Amino acid sequence: MPWFAMSERDMDDVVAIAEIVHPGFPEDRAVLAEKLALHPEGCFVLRDGEGGAALGYLLSHPWAEGSAPPLDTLLGCLPEPELYYIHDIALLPAARGMRAGEQAVAAVVDHARALGLGRIALVAVNGSTGFWQRHGFSVQADDGWPEMLASYGPDAAYMSRRLVP
């Protein structure tokens, strides 16, 4: 399954996939579209071949150390980059088991390195911590994270991965 650069015309598919994959974490179309506008180089859509059905998406961008972008909130602009942030990799059930998640992580790692960033971070939700651990991410335990991540749900975990140059 190939990942393609996302464009504004993919937003209907992105919103539809988000509603299916993350029903407990709704984000407005404008919030998702802003991530594409702010850092298009980090946004992709998974399709069943060129022009085929959308089966997933990836939203990622540079970010600041020690915080996670709030859910369903417009950012306005990106901060001075200190790390690379994976906002979301969402896959429909039809795309699971095809290594699409692994391909997305590899693309993010390559992009973060190309930007000269030495760390990738994310907030794991919906029991996805194991997936991220298999890809070199570890939970960052800090007394402040549970409060900062409250909107992400009770199982949310801030995770990061150092990149070897």
Over the chain, what is the mean pLDDT?
A: 93
Given phi > 0 = left and psi -120 to 50 = alpha, else beta, which region is 99? Answer: left
Asked if 149 and 68 touch (Cβ cutoff 8 Å), the reply is yes
CATH number at residue 98: 3.40.630.30
- Report which of 108, 20, 28 is spatially closest to residue 73, judged by C-alpha positions: 28
**Average pLDDT of 5-25?**
95
- In the prediction, which pLDDT does 149 show? 86
pLDDT at 113: 97
pLDDT per residue as tens digits for the range 31-66: 999 999 999 999 999 998 777 899 999 999 999 998
The answer to whether residue 112 is domain-embedded is yes
Q: What total number of domains does the chain contain?
A: 1
Q: Quick one: pLDDT at residue 15?
A: 97
Residue 51 lies in a domain: yes
Residue-range definition of the domain harbouring residue 90: 3-68+79-162
The b-or-e profile of 109-127 (16+ CB within 10 A means b, else e) is bebbeeeebeebbbbbbee
pTM to 2 decimals?
Answer: 0.94
73 located within any domain: no
Higher-confidence residue of 66 and 142: namely: 66
Reported confidence tier of residue 148, pLDDT bands at 50, 70, 90: confident
- Residue 160's pLDDT is what? 96
Asked whether residue 29 is domain-assigned, the answer is yes
Confidence grade of residue 141 (pLDDT, cut at 50, 70, 90): confident
**74 within a domain of the structure (yes/no):** no
Residue 162 is predicted with a pLDDT of 97
pLDDT over 80 (residue 19): yes
More confident of the two residues 159 and 152: 159
In-domain check, residue 8: yes
Does residue 142 surpass a pLDDT of 90? no
